[in-house]
Amino acid sequence: MRGAHSLARNDRDAARPAFDVEKVRADFPILRVMAHGKPLVYLDNAATSQNPRQVIEAESNYYATSNSNVHRGIHYLSERATSAFEASRDKARDFLHARDRAEVIFVRGTTEAINLVANSFVRPGLRAGDEVLISTMEHHSNIVPWQLACEATGAKLRVVPINEAGEIILSEFERLLGPRTRFVSLVHVSNALGTVNPVKQMIAMAHAQGVPVLLDGAQAAPHVVLDVQDLGCDFYAFSGHKAYAPTGIGILYGRREHLEKMPPYQGGGDMIRSVSFEKTTYNDLPHRFEAGTPNVGGAVGLGAAIDYMNEIGREAVEKHEAGLLAYATEKLSAVPKLRIVGTAKHKVAVVSFLIDSIHPHDMGTILDLEGIAIRAGHHCTQPLMQRFGIAATARASFGCYNTKEEIDALVAGLDKVLEVFA
């Protein structure tokens, strides 16, 4: 099955014209905004990416022509809304290369997906003395749900260390995998460092011990081609708003054999078959985990974003962003007193850095006045910052529409930062 999937993808790529970043930029209306009278240079994609007009129009068209509740109506609009909603599920299934559309659950984002797995799959089976394994580079959303589960059950949270380059120490991961390990939850790509973790190898190591694995794919989904069957993960989560889609929508993939054993995470409409005061029976997958009226417009937007990424070419975007990362690393390394935090061999286009004793917030403020949007802070990875003995970094993160000229603008802006603090 995977071979056929890859062959079809290669056929599409062969027929697709070469990647044209200026043509891509023309699809994003917000890139024409002037920030403080300067052309916007948007380098905060790891926090939230921008939406192409195709996504904006798809969501707007849904509200203009099809807005209704899904699954519950027999009238025209409800049927149109349901069709559009479920079509987006099929697109997400293909995007992840999942086996079955029933394995694709709509959620608000990665955070809700992780909480769903923590509460419905992991927590019911946790006992005192059991262990949940995560890494030092996790986002708070992949730390706090496991702390809550451990605190409620007496289980213990174990943390895999990283090296100075910002890479997981695989020998330590293997050492920490033990007879008490019940679950592993790992970030696929670090939002603060850009590190691409060797997750396929780590999943195989965990599975050899009979331990299921969740991957936080929030940063991976817009940057790398995904195949959950090839990775072998048990769960995969990502957020639409980091992948050129609207906010408030995301996907949890779960292997069907796991999902079928899980109790509902929330109760309400659409996740039921029948309700009486004596007993409620639950709906089939995936609706069992989609209580209440869903974000239909967001789902339609996510489907359009997946179409867009496929159209411009996910492999082509990977190559383009790899070029941006190499260029940014070279140019930023030449800035006086600048230190890059996170120098892993395998990274996506994220560069975190510090300049001498200048606070990242001050850097961000000065750059903003030049029209340059970066992120400054701990990036919801405070334990990671503590690992490096720092409070925060400045972070430039790139997407499909960014250019080398924008990196030059960033470097010129940092020269102004150095002038101000001279």
Catalytic residue annotation: 380
Q: Computed over its alpha carbons, how large is the radius of gyration of the chain?
A: 22
| Residues with Cβ within 8 Å of residue 164, at least 6 apart in sequence | none
To the nearest 10 degrees (0 to 180), the angle between helices 360-369 and 404-420 is: 120
Cα 346–Cα 349–Cα 355 angle in degrees, nearest 5 = 100
CA distances, 380 to each of 47, 143, 383 (Å): 10, 10, 9
Q: Tell me how far apart the terminal alpha carbons of the chain are, to the nearest angstrom.
A: 60
In sequence order, the 6+-apart residues with CB closer than 8 A to the CB of 97 are 2, 5, 226, 227, 228, 229, 230
**And the tokens for 61?**
């068209």
- Listed in order, strand segments (DSSP E) in 224-322 are 235-239, 250-254, 272-275, 280-282
**Rounded to 5 degrees, what are φ and ψ at 69?**
-80, 150
Pick from 254, 235, 239, 252: nearest CA to 301: 239
224: phi then psi, degrees, rounded to nearest 5: -130, 150
Distance between CA atoms of residues 212 and 286, nearest Å: 20
Question: Which one-letter DSSP state was computed for residue 189?
Answer: B
Which residues have CB under 8 Å from 370's CB, separation 6+? 36, 38, 41, 409, 412, 413, 416
**Beta strand segments in 95-151, E:** 104-107, 131-135
Measured over the CA atoms of residue 97, residue 100, residue 104 and residue 110, the dihedral's sign is: negative
Please give, one letter per residue, the 3-state secondary structure of 367-397: HHHCCEECEEECCCCHHHHHHHCCCCEEEEE
Specify the 3-state DSSP secondary structure of 302. helix
